[in-house]
Chain A
């Protein structure tokens, strides 16, 4: 009997709303994906690359070479001469504002995006 209250337009609007709501989840939640990687060495920008092209980058530092791997949409530190390996264990970075810092070797990685109004360290 509850269904008898529904008119055709009601059903149409319910489906429209359902569709819109379902669509809003991926659009608004997957936003903030980064699109560029900024590598700094001694605080100065060493390299700024696009996250879409896979590549491997070696960054020289006082302890040796930090090896950075870029894959489609994400990047990570693959190897670092630092003693504690924090930046390696940070894993993949993909969202705008994510960082990995290899302090002993003075190398840092930051993902930047169109909508990264603050960075997660200074905020």
Chain B
């Protein structure tokens, strides 16, 4: 038997990203199980994990968590490389771009609810644009945009609150009081 030459060593960073991504994948399965009237409208619970990763470990970790979640989540749902995979990929890329900017907002004025809102609106913007360019190349898709915007508003705020709450729950005991 030939011994394996390359050996992958997972460091603490990798393990942390893997743990967070696993949580995100779990939440995206919950997401998929919630019935909602319109395709494309989803709570996006997995993005709570992305927000927490950004707040705690920085943008790079958040990007890894989000990317792994999109790929692994779509595989588990049997949607890998299907249209819905590309839609969530576009959404993830756009919201990560928004978060890249959002993290530099002054923390005194803007909290995770702002991050969540910016990310959710960027998410639907990316999805609608991809859908318009590729899946349904007709301006009629913009008729759905207000509904998507409403969903982004509601779920963005709700997920932002959840992220705040979880951050308090998970990380507050680590800071000495």
Taking Cβ atoms with an 8 Å cutoff, the residues of A that contact B are: 2, 5-10, 13-14, 17-18, 20-21, 24-25, 28-29, 115, 117
Cβ-neighbour of A9 out of B114, B146, B157 (below 8 A): B114
Interface residues of B in 78-135 (CB under 8 A from A): 105-106, 108-114, 117-118, 121
Q: Is B11 engaged at the interface, CB distance under 8 Å to the other chain?
A: no
Known: A10-B110, A117-B138. 18 other contacts (CB 8 A): A5-B112, A5-B164, A5-B165, A7-B108, A7-B109, A7-B111, A7-B114, A9-B106, A10-B113, A10-B160, A13-B113, A13-B117, A13-B118, A17-B121, A17-B152, A17-B153, A21-B146, A28-B143
Residue of A nearest to B151 (CB): A21
Contact partners of B157 in chain A: CB under 8 A: 14
Chain A min CB distance to B142 (Å): 5
Cα-based distance from A17 to B54 in the complex (angstroms): 22
Residue of A nearest to B157 (CB): A14
Taking Cβ atoms with an 8 Å cutoff, the residues of B that contact A are: 105-106, 108-114, 117-118, 121, 138-139, 142-143, 145-146, 149-150, 152-153, 156-157, 160-161, 164-165
Cβ-neighbour of B110 out of A9, A17, A18 (below 8 A): A9
Cα-based distance from A7 to B108 in the complex (angstroms): 7
Contact partners of A28 in chain B: CB under 8 A: 142-143, 145-146
Q: Decide yes or no: A13 and B110 within 8 Å by CB, A24-B145, A24-B149, A115-B139 being known contacts.
A: yes
**Is B149's CB under 8 angstroms from A6's CB?**
no
**Is A13's CB under 8 angstroms from B114's CB?**
yes
Cα-based distance from A62 to B108 in the complex (angstroms): 77
**Is A10's CB under 8 angstroms from B149's CB?**
no
**Is A18's CB under 8 angstroms from B153's CB?**
yes
Q: Decide yes or no: A20 and B149 within 8 Å by CB, A6-B111, A28-B142 being known contacts.
A: yes
Residue of A nearest to B142 (CB): A28
